[in-house]
Structure 1
Amino acid sequence: MIVFDLQCEPLGHRFEGWFGSSADYEDQRARGLVTCPSCGAGQVIKAVMAPNVGRKGNQMPAPVPKPEAAPVAMANPPLPAEAVAMLKAVAAMQAEAIKSSTWVGKNFAEDARAMHYGEKDAAPIHGKATAQEARELLDEGVAVMPLLVPVVPPEEAN
């Protein structure tokens, strides 16, 4: 079998054709059997192509040298001491603020909305809400904010 890159002359569509030999291609073309699969044109010529010349069975490709290893950065480098100190300070401030707040768990969005609309007495609360619930609360004008440090629910605390 032989593969030719072919091209229709009217529009320049390129495609492959498989033939038993070069003579088979010429014979089929002369009889109008070779047509463009895109537009159906019968004016088909061989396109310029790079031949695939295989190696002899006893020839092995030359080994490709491996590039020198590039320097690798640590995926999770340790935080600088100043950042650790700031995070500890934020966690301590949040823990102090939560002491005067009530855990409402998954009822956070419902309770926050009820307080906003005056259906419940206003009080500081904290709990869980989905991102969608938080967006809806903000759209309604309910003042909410995420806690910066994760909080362990009271029922899960040791």
Structure 2
Amino acid sequence: MKVLNLQCAHQHEFEGWFGSEDDFTSQLARALVSCPLCGDTQIRKMLSAPRLNLRAGREDKAPTAAQTGTSDSVELGLPASGSALHAQLLKAMRQVLAHTEDVGERFADQARAMHHGEMDQRNIRGRTSPEVALELIEEGIEVMPLPSLPALKETLQ
């Protein structure tokens, strides 16, 4: 298995897992490799350090940050890189999609109806203009804009 660091034309970085270098090249040529954030198929391979298991089987492994109590990005729950942040964003957005109902263009009407007690409360998502979203906020209706990411509709592999 080959794990490659990849980047799209919009500078989004992500990992790709391939059976071999030939597998990557073949998929790239057929435009099967795309950015999980924007869907761009203009992908290039980035430099990456090889992973060497030099300590495998040795007893004197260095302690981890969790064992020593030192603070680092992992312990603080912060992503270590832009790629990790992208992965966290995708995971959070997929969770939102899994736990909300898409009401499409009816979003503002349904949000108002729920707010005024004309409809049962439920978690919804949909589309509306920025102006209408501001009107909803001014009416005391909680709304949160979400990015539209093509990768959210598919499993990320």
> TM-score, with normalisation over the residues of structure 1?
0.44
Larger radius of gyration: 1
